[in-house]
Amino acid sequence: MHDGRMTAAHSTTDTHTPTRRAVVIGGASGLGRAIAIALAADGCRITVADRDLEAATAVADALGDDGHDAQPVDVTDEASVAALFDDHEAPDVVVNSAGISTFGLITELDAEQFRSVVDVNLTGGFLVVKHAGRRLADGGALVSITSLNARQPAVGMSAYCSAKAGLVMLTQVGAMELGARGIRVNAVSPGFVPTPLTDPATAVPGVVDDYLANTPLGRVGTPEDVANAVVFLCSANASWMTGEVIDLNGGAHLMRYPDLHGHIMALMEPQ
């Protein structure tokens, strides 16, 4: 599914002379890591921001010697998000890929679990838009990573679905408010992509097959698929695009979401 090699479909800049500064939040692993690599290949000087500073540093070091660095950030802590932007030069590109999920029926889900998912995915998204919006260079680009679950509900995923749906509306409001400065605010809404976030679902027998059966293109996504879409949204090729949420899921949004709850219940039945 993913062999670790990164490509950038829209690379237009000499990779040895980075000209734009990009902050990738959640860049230590998964989609964020792929996005950081693709933006670096497109000529950006990357700040890899993550709660896991050691892993973020490893990603930044692997990008080469073009001034890339790593910074700690916790998107649930406003002071941490503010410091990420206030302590450095104004970025041209900001990507927020931080996200967590949980599983549980509404009638059984602990309120703190619900809040923790909303805190990272939605409140964290708000804090990033707030402080990035203050510091982004005029004409810059801000991209959030939402989810197929922003439009497709799934039994047992009330917190994640609600938070990602809220992030879509936050993206659209952000586009309206920051447009006067030429700042474009968009989002990519991936379907199923194998990452650490989706590993628990992948481990449940039948889930991936169910997803593929409801995906017209018949395959899961890769981190590179998402990264290439982000590179496009951050490029001059998308200079007239704002407030847009790109459904990137092989057409899965046209059908139904996998019965994750049903597959989990089947797994728990006595054999």
Task: Using pLDDT thresholds of 50, 70 and 90, give the confidence band for residue 87.
Answer: confident
What pTM was estimated for this model as a whole? 0.91
Tally the domains of the chain: 1
13, part of any domain:
no
198, part of any domain:
yes
| Domain housing 73 | 20-268
Averaged pLDDT score across all residues of the chain? 93
165, part of any domain:
yes
Task: Using pLDDT thresholds of 50, 70 and 90, give the confidence band for residue 271.
Answer: low
| Cβ atoms 46, 40 nearer than 8 A | yes
201, part of any domain:
yes
7, part of any domain:
no
Per the residue annotation, which of 85, 103, 114, 160 is the catalytic one?
160
CA 131/CA 122 separation, integer angstroms: 14
| Cβ atoms 242, 179 nearer than 8 A | yes
Q: What's the gap between Cα 251 and its chain centre?
A: 19
Q: Looking at residues 114-123, what average pLDDT do you find?
A: 98
Among 4-13, 36-45, 72-81, 166-175, where is mean pLDDT lowest? 4-13
What's residue 224's pLDDT?
98
Catalytic residue status for 211 = no
* 26-79 pLDDT tens trace: 999 999 999 999 999 999 999 999 999 999 999 999 999 889 999 999 999 999
218, part of any domain:
yes
Task: Using pLDDT thresholds of 50, 70 and 90, give the confidence band for residue 11.
Answer: very low
How many Cβ atoms are within 10 Å of 98's Cβ, its own excluded?
Answer: 26
14, part of any domain:
no
Can you point out the beta strands (E) in the chain?
Answer: 20-25, 44-50, 69-72, 93-96, 141-145, 184-190, 245-248
What CATH number is associated with residue 192? 3.40.50.720
What's residue 88's pLDDT?
80
10, part of any domain:
no
CA 74/CA 46 separation, integer angstroms: 18
Spatial neighbors of 27 by CB under 8 A, at least 6 apart, are 33, 35, 36, 46, 48, 49, 50, 56, 59, 95, 97
Our CA angle for 234, 236, 239, nearest 5°, is: 85
